[in-house]
């Protein structure tokens, strides 16, 4: 192959997706992370890492409001990284993370999970929740956990770095897989009704290897 031809081959970007209850701050994080202006959300934008790497970030565009928390296969398809977002001032949004995690694990079984407690600036932020973030991280099988605030910028740079690291890990894991395991395989869908699951003490196995 000619060198100039090789230069024009598009490199497939890794995709990261946001998941979590309505109102936890996913869209605000989407704008913060991508530098796009609020109100211009088309559901997908490029997140640039410091080293120049580009990652495609997807927002639900409020789908979660109308689809009974069930995001579609196409939303999760090919996701390298899922951001499980909760509101640090709303314990119910933290309880719901297990359902989001189950859906994400079903539709994107190889994706790396990152736990995000947003609204860290809120005067109502729950100190007990915040101090237990690592335990939630383990329980949900996430590689990383980050406390953020889209109001103050707390944790946003760290989160960007973590997304980059998670995508790199996804690539490493995928390269190690035999071919027949790389493609999406349909399994039984997890029950979305298991509201007690978030309190289950058994930690889920992290796929990150980090
Ligand atoms: N105090 C505080 N409010 C936030 C933060 N992030 C988002 N919000 C507010 O939470 C509400 C819901 O945010 P939005 O991004 O639309 O949530 P989404 O439904 O998950 O996309 C809005 O009023 C935001 O201004 C944050 O970090 N701190
Ligand atoms: Mg939104």
Q: Is the CB of 137 inside a 6 Å radius of any atom of ligand 1?
A: no
Residue 60: nearest ligand to its CA? 2
154 φ, ψ (degrees, to nearest 5): -55, 130
CA distance 196 to 56: 33
More confident residue, 63 or 19: 19
Mean pLDDT of the residues in the chain: 84
**Taking the CA of residue 103 as centre, how many other CA atoms within 13 Å lie in the half-sphere pointing to its CB?**
26
**Taking the CA of residue 43 as centre, how many other CA atoms within 13 Å lie in the half-sphere pointing to its CB?**
8
- How far, in Å, is the centroid of ligand 1 from the Cα of 23? 6
Q: Is the CB of 190 inside a 6 Å radius of any atom of ligand 1?
A: no
Take atom 7 of ligand 1 and give the residue whose Cα is closest: 25
38-55 tens-digit pLDDT? 887 679 999 999 999 999
The domains located in the chain, with CATH, are 13-181 (3.40.50.300)
Q: What global pTM score does this model have?
A: 0.84
In this predicted structure, the answer to whether residue 197 has a pLDDT above a threshold of 50 is no
């Amino acid at each position: 192959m000619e060198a100039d031809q090789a230069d024009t081959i598009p490199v497939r970007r890794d995709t990261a997706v946001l998941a979590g209850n309505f109102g936890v701050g996913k869209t605000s994080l989407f704008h913060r992370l991508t530098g796009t202006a609020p109100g211009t959300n088309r559901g997908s934008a490029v997140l640039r890492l410091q080293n120049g790497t580009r990652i495609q970030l997807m927002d639900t565009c409020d789908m979660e409001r109308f689809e009974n928390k069930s995001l579609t296969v196409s939303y999760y398809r090919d996701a390298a990284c899922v951001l499980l977002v909760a509101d640090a001032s709303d314990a119910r949004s933290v309880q719901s993370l297990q359902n989001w995690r189950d859906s994400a694990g079903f539709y994107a079984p190889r994706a790396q999970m990152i736990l995000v407690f947003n609204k860290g600036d809120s005067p109502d932020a729950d100190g007990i929740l915040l101090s237990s973030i690592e335990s939630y991280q383990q329980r949900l099988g996430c590689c990383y956990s980050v406390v953020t605030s889209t109001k103050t910028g707390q944790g946003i740079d760290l989160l960007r770095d973590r997304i980059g690291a998670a995508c790199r890990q996804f690539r490493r894991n995928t390269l190690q897989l035999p071919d027949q395991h790389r493609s999406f395989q349909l399994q039984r869908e997890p029950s979305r009704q298991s509201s007690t699951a978030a309190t289950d003490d058994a930690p889920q196995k992290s796929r990150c290897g980090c």
